[in-house]
Amino acid sequence: MVVVGILLVWYILTAGGSTPERWIRYMLTAFLVTFTSNFLFNLFSSIDIGTLSYYLCWFFKTLFHIGLIVGTFTWCGYADTEAGHQNYARRDKRNPHYIPFIIPIVFIIINFKTHWAFSIDSELNYVRGWMYQLEMIYLIIASSCLSLSLIYANRKEQDPHKMLHILVTASFPIAMLVGWTLSFIGEGVPVICVAITIETLCLALGNSNIRISVDKLTMVNNRNNLIGFINYKIKNNNGNLYLLMLDIDRFKSINDNYGHLIGDQALVLATQILKTACKPYNKRPYIARYGGDEFIIVLEAQYSEIEELCNNINKLMALESQKTDYKLSVSIGVAKYEEGMTYSDFINKADSELYKVKNKRVLN
């Protein structure tokens, strides 16, 4: 409970307003309510204050179950966002993805009459019902579906740090399953709470590491993460490793003529174009903002595929330029990795090729 509370405060103070960060804040809040309710149940079940103890125990255990359901729902929202779907993020009261989680909450609320999920006996002992087992199976299956979707959507990911975070995130149903299985031993240790605490701690810390490695404006990898990734690929590649350095043409004139806000929008638009152009590849190309209006793409491919990627980027830039007041285009320098190169050699070679392309355009 204390760990999740500290994580929540830390996230409120440090995290931004992106959709994944909001989902993590919601998840931490829901599980903090869950764990606090479980703690308060144990507290009041050991204190004899007459009938009030009985009703408080009912209330806190009901809140525990609702928090567990809402916490699982918010994890599904986070996993769905990380998978690139955004289904749970839709601000629509009729969003069908809410229904599977509203139904079990309704059953928990009416449990005071039915006693299907749990009951509290005269000695304030917590007694599980058949619907509790069904509730846990239901939550594990629902989260497992999102877990598999998350792994499948990121199967092309090349960044080892991001892939590790994806696997940690996808392990949530396993934590739930382990906690539920061990809970049959007894209620002396809140194993479900412990399992979820460990999972949320790993997930929150992993997400923080990802945030540190991402450029805040364009939401692609930043320069520091880029260097680590290039060093990783130098040691792990198939012999066809390429680095593309891209520079937005006449970007200073966009800033001067339309303002820095429009200039920032141009950078974001360029990033979206790069992401779109890179989508078809079996191994996801790594995109990073190198600095200012310069971007780098690292990928393993045949040279014909590199030419095709460059052409697609230029075509998409031209199409988007028809929708803006400014012309958006890029110059691209291409370098192939050669044995013995350091990361700086690799970048400098692409930068040299970019310089040649720009000079050729000026002469023409």
Q: Please report, for the domain that includes residue 81, its CATH number.
A: 1.20.1070.10
Same domain, 188 and 235: no
User: Distance between CA 129 and CA 126 in Å, rounded?
Assistant: 10
Check residue 49 and give its pLDDT. Answer: 79
| Cβ neighbours for 82, distance < 8 A, ≥ 6 positions apart | 20, 150, 153, 154, 166, 169
User: Distance between CA 280 and CA 357 in Å, rounded?
Assistant: 26
Q: Which residues of the chain have pLDDT under 70?
A: 1-5, 7-17, 86-95, 186-189, 361-364
Cα Rg of the chain (Å, integer): 26
Domain membership flag for residue 173: yes
Check residue 213 and give its pLDDT. Answer: 86
User: Distance between CA 338 and CA 333 in Å, rounded?
Assistant: 16
Check residue 212 and give its pLDDT. Answer: 83
Same domain, 287 and 350: yes
Where a domain ends, among 165, 184, 212?
212
Domain membership flag for residue 23: yes
Same domain, 345 and 273: yes
Same domain, 178 and 283: no
Same domain, 254 and 233: yes
Where a domain ends, among 212, 231, 259?
212
Where a domain ends, among 190, 212, 234?
212
Question: In the chain, how many domains are there?
Answer: 2
Domain membership flag for residue 217: no
Check residue 12 and give its pLDDT. Answer: 59
User: Distance between CA 289 and CA 219 in Å, rounded?
Assistant: 9
Check residue 45 and give its pLDDT. Answer: 84
Domain encompassing residue 233? 223-363
Domain membership flag for residue 83: yes
By DSSP bridging, strand 286-291 and strand 294-300 are antiparallel
Same domain, 172 and 238: no
Q: CATH number of the domain that 229 lies in?
A: 3.30.70.270
Same domain, 229 and 207: no
